[in-house]
Amino acid sequence: MAFKRIKGSDRGLIERTISSTAFSVGDLLQYSRTGAVVETASATSEIDNLAGVVVKATTTADTVVLLQRIMPGDVYEVDTLNAANASHNYMRCIWGAGQTINNTGTDVVGDTGLFMQTGKTGTNKVVGEFVTGSHGD
pLDDT digits (tens, 9 = 90+) for 115-136: 999 999 999 999 999 997 654 4
Residue 55 has pLDDT above 90, yes or no: yes
Name the E strands within 9-71. 13-17, 28-32, 37-40, 50-54, 64-68
Q: Are 102 and 127 found together in one domain?
A: yes
56 and 83 in a single domain? The answer is no
**10/76: higher pLDDT:** 76
* pTM recorded for the entire structure: 0.89
Whether 61 and 106 map to the same domain: the answer is no
Torsion-angle region of residue 95: left (phi > 0), alpha (psi -120 to 50) or beta? Answer: beta
**For residues 27 and 16, is the Cβ–Cβ distance under 8 A?**
no
The residue range of the domain holding 106 is 75-136
Domain membership of residue 105 (yes or no) is yes
- DSSP state, 94? E
Q: How many domains does the chain have?
A: 2
DSSP letter (8 states) at residue 86: G
Tally the residues of the chain: 137
